[in-house]
Amino acid sequence: MSRLLLHICCAPDATVAFERLRQYGDVVGLFYNPNIEPLAEYRLREAETAKLSALQGVEYIEEPPDREGWLKSVAGCEDEPERGERCRRCIAHRLEVTARKAVQIGIPTFATTLTVSPHKDVEFIHQTGREIAARVGLEYLNETLRKQDGFRRSVELSRQFELYRQNYCGCRWSMLTARNKDDVSVDTAGI
């Protein structure tokens, strides 16, 4: 069976990704999220992802966060609203590093958990993944994990595994717009 490098943004989103993506190959989880602040929050989300991976028997890698590189990527877009240019650059940065890691360790396909969130622009994520994949000679798995109640399922599984669930996306600007993490009414089954 071939291997699949899965970019993981947080443990709750990884729950449903692990459940659904194993059909495509042996999943290797990659935690690469230099966007997450403060450092204690980064450590907590990383530790929860490592814990879930161990519970699920998934190989797991933490890629050290390149905060300087990430800050350069989003420079000039700090005041953009969520889903705007700042987020596009943040997502592209993380997918680019994921793809480079896949090439480095010889994994032919990559995917991301970012499509679990009902707050993300899935079309942008997929388009960016496909463009990067074509450029570096990989395959990108075009899977929209929030489909079929994916977000709701991630909430359920997170409770089952007693995972920490954050109430903001990750960066310092998103902290200002923290939301109700238990609101599954925003789930977008079918989108």
Residues of this chain that interact with ligand SF4 (CB under 6 A) are 35, 74, 82, 86-87, 90-91, 169-171, 173-174
The minimum distance between CB 55 and ligand SF4, in angstroms, equals 26
What is the 3-class SS of 110-170, one letter each residue?
Answer: EEEHHHHCCCCCHHHHHHHHHHHHHHHCCEECCCCCCCCCHHHHHHHHHHHCCCCCCCCCC
Please give the Cα distance from 27 to 18 (Å, whole number).
Answer: 7
The minimum distance between CB 104 and ligand SF4, in angstroms, equals 23
Number of H helices, E strands in the chain: 6, 5
Pick the closer one to ligand SF4 by CB: 90 or 157: 90
The minimum distance between CB 82 and ligand SF4, in angstroms, equals 5
Q: What are phi and psi of 75, to 5 degrees?
A: -60, 135
Pick the closer one to ligand SF4 by CB: 42 or 173: 173
Pick the closer one to ligand SF4 by CB: 9 or 58: 9
Pick the closer one to ligand SF4 by CB: 96 or 139: 96
The minimum distance between CB 58 and ligand SF4, in angstroms, equals 23
The minimum distance between CB 122 and ligand SF4, in angstroms, equals 13
Q: Which residues pair with 110 in a beta bridge?
A: 5, 140
Pick the closer one to ligand SF4 by CB: 107 or 171: 171
